[in-house]
């Protein structure tokens, strides 16, 4: 067997091992429709035609990938109740905003193309998507490169919304959240809750406790952690160890 083939096989096995390990920390689902892709998992809300959460493990190794964007937006065939369609966003004035970012999925073609499922999209204000949301995605990647491994949960707060778009009724969230857990070193969590609109405020403005996001969404983000660790981290807004440029 050629060396290149062996390396390819080992890479796939390692990726599968990482994905399997990541499943251990899945959030709770209020919709009971869990969809597992190769590098991220989501809980799909049919009445909102999007995910109530998208969860994935982000590592420094994953960010070394060179895969280019595919921009192949399409429905997600793994959603049993049928996901949102391209027509739902057309002419709405909202971006098809990534929840699991394409920029986090550069490790290979499978990861990249799966990030363009419409189940991984939510209607986002154009300036929000290109502005502070993009800034936060970049910041998370920088943290992952520094720490080596992060667990990320993200989506819109579907109970607080601006109505719906498209014939299938895709909910437009009023706010988006991102919860990040760092299991290494001092072990820490941080959460952001950001309005779905243009803003010039710094990221620090939108830091909240994980407990607060859980109350808004009804989701328990890391239920498999020991209670003592989970409770301590989720009620804290301690920013030590989370460097955020001003």
- Residue ranges per domain, the chain? 3-234
Taking residues 109-123, report their average pLDDT: 98
Q: How confident is the model at residue 240 (pLDDT cuts 50, 70, 90)?
A: confident
Give dist(CA 58, CA 15) in Å, integer: 11
Q: How confident is the model at residue 22 (pLDDT cuts 50, 70, 90)?
A: low
> Hey, what CATH topology would domain 3-234 get?
Extracellular Endonuclease; Chain A (3.40.570)
Q: Which of 37, 96, 98, 141 is catalytic?
A: 98
Give dist(CA 206, CA 162) in Å, integer: 19
98 included as an active-site residue: yes
Q: Are 184 and 148 in contact (CB under 8 A)?
A: yes
Q: Which range among 19-23, 27-31, 143-147, 209-213 shows the weakest confidence by mean pLDDT?
A: 19-23
């Amino acid at each position: 067997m050629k060396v290149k083939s062996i390396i390819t096989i080992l890479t796939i096995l390692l990726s599968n091992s990482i994905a399997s390990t990541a499943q251990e920390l899945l959030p709770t689902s209020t919709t009971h429709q869990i969809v597992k892709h190769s590098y991220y998992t989501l809980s799909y809300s049919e009445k909102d035609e999007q995910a109530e959460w998208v969860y994935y493990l982000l590592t420094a190794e994953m960010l070394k990938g060179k895969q280019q964007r595919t921009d192949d937006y399409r429905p997600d065939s793994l959603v049993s109740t049928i996901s949102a369609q391209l027509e739902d966003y057309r002419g709405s004035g909202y971006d098809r905003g990534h929840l699991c970012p394409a920029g986090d999925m550069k490790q290979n073609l499978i990861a990249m193309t799966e990030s363009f499922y419409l189940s991984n999209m939510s209607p986002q204000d154009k300036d929000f998507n290109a502005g502070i949301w993009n800034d936060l995605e970049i910041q998370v990647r920088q943290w992952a490169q520094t720490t080596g491994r992060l667990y990320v949960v993200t989506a819109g707060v579907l109970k607080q919304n601006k109505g719906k778009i498209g014939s299938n009724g895709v909910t437009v969230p009023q706010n988006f959240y991102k919860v990040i857990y760092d299991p290494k070193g001092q072990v820490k969590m941080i959460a952001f809750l950001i309005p779905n609109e243009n803003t010039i405020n710094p990221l620090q403005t939108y830091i909240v406790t994980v407990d607060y996001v859980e109350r808004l969404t009804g989701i328990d983000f890391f239920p498999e952690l020991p209670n003592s660790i989970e409770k301590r981290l989720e009620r804290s807004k301690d920013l030590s160890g989370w460097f955020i440029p001003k």
